[in-house]
Structure 1
Amino acid sequence: MKKHITIGVLFLSTLIFGQTLPKIDSIIKQEMKSDKIAALAIAVIDSGKVVHLSANGFRDIKDKLPATINTPFHIASVSKTVTNLAVFKLVESGKIDLKMDINKYLPFEVKNPFYPNDIITVRDLLNHRSGIKDDSEIYEPFWNIPKGDSPFKLGNFLKDYLSEDGKQYKKDHYESDSNYKSFNYSNTGVALLGLIVEQVSGMDFEDFCQINIFKPMEMTNTSWFLKNLDSSLVAKTYVHHDAIGLVFKGHNGYPDYPGGQLRTSISDFAKLWAGYLNVENSNFMLTPITTKFITPSPRIAQEGFFTWFLTSINSHLYYFHNGGDTGASTVIAIDVYNKRGIIIFSNSEVRLNKLLSKIEKKI
């Protein structure tokens, strides 16, 4: 019997943990019939309340260890929504100015060599309009052969990558087109936001997030680094091969980690965004003025979304972000007006938009 057929049988015996809705459970049950999915963790927020919280499948297929609502998943680029919160914590306290040249906050100079007289602002980084590019030759070894936490310090890596005297510096790390301030998705730019947080706060990015976000929100199964979690409890990330089924290639990690390395449980992440949506009635880490500035009642003509994207799901507008990495697929959608949210984590490479749409129809 092929391995992926065996895995499919195992899925049927897994347990769901947490508060669940039958109408959501039925959708998940259908999804879990796929032999390409190791686990799904899902949270649904409606009218500001977490109404569904579940985990199905395995965090470790070989040892048949189930995923639970407390299992940390690698959430890939959905991590950027948390980097956004860290930046705005310092914006709120007046320590970061969105319109300021980022060089005011950095220990080395960052200049586009093709437009040396132009400045790059914090707002540019948040909106992916900095002109800073991702170099696939540098990043692909980390993406394709996961080896866990990167040994590189964030500041050292970014200096080598962006500073003229850096060991990995190339002019091509910056856009040369005259329209370079138009949108261009940049993991490196978001990593630079993490470094700005470090420089302004005087703390490592992980420590800043733990003190200002994770601990206040009681997110006990969340960290930017695998080393700070019990690795036996972390969801392994699986890729699918037709001949043998789901295969674990290793835990993800890379030097630009504020752009996509966060590991968190569905319970922790649901708690965070329920707090965000209920900011006026909760002890959230930001004020209502700040959250409304980041995600105002959405309108198509709005300029920039501070890391978020705007999308229509079943004719309703949501702030949206997804993530994908080796063995990881994630998505979050929040409706700030109706205080709704949908969060989906998978430790497999699957497309989640259809599942997101199906769930949205049920709330």
Structure 2
Amino acid sequence: MTLCPLLLVLCAALTNAVHLCPLLGPSWPAPTRLPDDPTVQSALQNITTTIQDAIKAGNFSGNSLSLQIFDTSSSHSLLTLSHTAEAINTTIGVSEVDENTVFRIGSASKIFTMLLLLIEDGFNILQDPVAKYIPEIQAAVVDLRRNSTKRRDGINFTKWNEVTVGELASYLAGIARDYGILDLTEQAPLLESLGFPALPPAQIPPCGVPNPCSRKQFFNGLIRAHPIVPTSSTPIYSNAGFQILGYVLEAIAGKDFEKVLKKDLIKPLNLTHTFYNTPSTSLGVIPISQGEYWWNFNIGEEAPAGGIYSSAKDMSIFGRAILNSTLLPRSITRRWMKPHTHTSSLGFAVGAPWEILSFGDERPIDLYTKSGDIGTYSSALALDIDHGAGFIILGAGSNTHVSIALASDLVSASLLPALEQAAKNQAYERFAGRYALSTGNSSITITTDDGPALVVTSWFNNGTDMFPGYMALNGISNPSQLSIRLYPTGLESPGQISFRAVIPLALPAGIGPFTSSCITWVTVDSQRYGNVGIDEFVFNLDENGNAISVSPRVLRTVLPITSSSDTMMWGRWQENLRAGSMKR
């Protein structure tokens, strides 16, 4: 079944200019050689100046920061920037923050836990019921099955039989945030003065602070805790869920979490400043106000949710390994780097355990992030899969969450547009040009413009202009409304790279999401000729990755490049010069 007849009917009433409606994903192949790219280097300098100005203005007052920006094409960071607050304890900690200074990363630890699960057992485990791996939860499932009162009571008893590993990983299990740790009963006198009732001993968690809960205490309390929402209804943040995932990991690996962490991540990636247990304070930045307390604060077996210590350099190595699929098959990484649910903010989705933030107006650029907070320490890791880059910001001090969020916005505001421009510039250098047969009657010209993707500006096959044919096939009557744009598919072979042409349809102005949403994802490959899509293009590349020919696959032909981007740039320069002379 096809939507083409409906689309052709809508096109008959067109009144507006074409909305390009790019596909989700990159407009050009990921840029390389970023340390030498002038656009990126300018952005990095701007980020440095912006952060330093913010420090001088007091926006990070009382907070030490460690920032690294990294990419997949180099083992070195693109930018390293550190700031040391005045209020740190240099007697027991570092006197100056650098890329190797250790911080607590809080809930960014959850990414370690999730990656370890994928390394040990792949992606299919996410579909498994968690009771399969956790005897305590299996006992709760059996109890629920036998007790009809509990089974009918959806408010007071969690339906543990419904909870999957994947729901725990993406905060969709609907279970309590924590058990024991940071329970407000430790501040009972204050709570009672505020009007809360005094609690009998039986209702006070027997563990949490200062003594972490044992596994038995944790499950005894968590299974009695009220559910928050039904499974898979809305994301509800839960540290307890990742504590359970730590136990799942131990069950499938047959060894404790710390040993799996060392075997699968710390040793393979040579993370010399990453720790599961509390390291020496001499390695870390210790804020004067409560810094030593939070450095040593023991969350016990909730560590898979928020207990890891690391440095900016190690976190850059870790983030680069995720982007490069160093430890996973690329198919699993692609599956992992996807949303699992929305939030009430249109630009904020949730993965496992990603906090996915969308940037950009022309097309969404999704950052796969994870932030973390534990006392005086905060962190934010952000991965840009479209451009093969990312950044890590670690903070220690007072109100660090706000400082890390501000720094993350400042970095993103300069970095993302620069990466997009670098990708566009490099795509122009690699692919722009005129491709033609020696006979001269078959040719195609490809370039870039102010919009996304590569653009086809002229196209002839055996002397026939292909534009009218593509207009007819897509119900376009006005030549100015035809736009053929080539987007990378991510499919590659040795010496070849695949693109698909997207031809946006000129439709009436929409009045809501039904009539104004981009539907180009529906139209890709919708028209085939001899079982080949009319939108399929493959470039053949030289040893440097530059195009030497292009094949519009539906035409069963290969067109060698006859004039490259350099020639086209020279032609543009001459045209601009002539135009300027005429104006004068």
TM-score range, shorter chain: 0.7 to 0.9
In the alignment, is the contact (CA less than 8 A) between 2:172 and 2:233 conserved in 1? Answer: yes
TM-score, normalised with respect to structure 1: 0.76
Distance 2:376 2:186 in 1: 10
From the superposition, tell whether residues 234 and 22 of structure 1 become closer, same or farther in structure 2 (CA, over 3 Å).
same
- Between 1:269-278 and 1:309-318, the stretch displaced more is 309-318
Where does residue 50 of structure 2 map in the other structure? 27
Shift in Å, 1:156: 3.5
Give the alignment partner of residue 230 of structure 1, picking from 280, 298, 308.
Answer: 280
Where does residue 341 of structure 1 map in the other structure? 390
Letter in 2 for 1:254: I
Give the alignment partner of residue 45 of structure 1, picking from 47, 70, 75.
Answer: 70
Shift in Å, 1:188: 0.3
- Between 1:301-310 and 1:210-219, the stretch displaced more is 301-310
In the alignment, is the contact (CA less than 8 A) between 1:42 and 1:55 conserved in 2? Answer: yes
Shift in Å, 1:265: 0.6
From the superposition, tell whether residues 290 and 135 of structure 1 become closer, same or farther in structure 2 (CA, over 3 Å).
closer
In the alignment, is the contact (CA less than 8 A) between 1:143 and 1:254 conserved in 2? Answer: no
TM-score, normalised with respect to structure 2: 0.49
Letter in 1 for 2:309: R
Give the alignment partner of residue 306 of structure 1, picking from 352, 362, 374.
Answer: 352
From the superposition, tell whether residues 116 and 361 of structure 1 become closer, same or farther in structure 2 (CA, over 3 Å).
closer
- Between 1:120-129 and 1:62-71, the stretch displaced more is 62-71
| Secondary structure in 1 matching 2:235 | coil
Correspondences of 1:9-20 after superposition (within 5 Å): none
Where does residue 125 of structure 2 map in the other structure? 97
RMSD: 3.4
Give the alignment partner of residue 121 of structure 1, picking from 160, 164, 167.
Answer: 164
| Secondary structure in 1 matching 2:126 | coil
Shift in Å, 1:193: 0.4
From the superposition, tell whether residues 143 and 48 of structure 1 become closer, same or farther in structure 2 (CA, over 3 Å).
farther
Letter in 2 for 1:99: Q
Give the alignment partner of residue 375 of structure 2, picking from 307, 310, 326.
Answer: 326
Instruction: Kindly indicate whether residue 337 of structure 2 is the aligned counterpart of residue 295 of structure 1.
Output: yes
Where does residue 242 of structure 2 map in the other structure? 190
In the alignment, is the contact (CA less than 8 A) between 1:59 and 1:71 conserved in 2? Answer: no
From the superposition, tell whether residues 201 and 98 of structure 1 become closer, same or farther in structure 2 (CA, over 3 Å).
same
Q: After superposition, give the CA deviation of every residue in 1:279-327 in whole Å (9 maximum; x if it has no partner).
A: 2xxxx22221111110049998998511102112455321122122210
| Identity, % of aligned positions | 20
Of structures 1 and 2, the one with the larger relative CO (CA 8 A, separation 6+) is 1
Correspondences of 1:1-363 after superposition (within 5 Å): 21-33=44-56, 34=58, 36-46=61-71, 48-49=73-74, 50-57=77-84, 61-63=88-90, 65-92=95-122, 97-109=125-137, 110-111=140-141, 114=157, 116=159, 118-135=161-178, 138-140=181-183, 152=212, 155-163=215-223, 170-172=224-226, 174-175=227-228, 177-178=229-230, 181-226=233-278, 229-237=279-287, 249-251=293-295, 252-255=297-300, 256-279=302-325, 284-296=326-338, 305-313=351-359, 315=361, 316-348=365-397, 349-350=399-400, 351=402, 352-363=404-415
From the superposition, tell whether residues 21 and 135 of structure 1 become closer, same or farther in structure 2 (CA, over 3 Å).
closer
From the superposition, tell whether residues 291 and 157 of structure 1 become closer, same or farther in structure 2 (CA, over 3 Å).
farther
Shift in Å, 1:22: 3.5
Distance 2:341 2:213 in 1: 39
Letter in 2 for 1:79: S
| Secondary structure in 1 matching 2:366 | strand
In structure 2, runs of 5+ residues without a counterpart are 1-42, 145-149, 151-156, 188-207, 416-584
- Between 1:133-142 and 1:195-204, the stretch displaced more is 133-142
Q: After superposition, give the CA deviation of every residue in 1:26-72 in whole Å (9 maximum; x if it has no partner).
A: 23322333363331011112464431123221598232711221111
Which of the pair has more CA radius of gyration? Answer: 2
In structure 1, runs of 5+ residues without a counterpart are 1-19, 164-169, 240-245
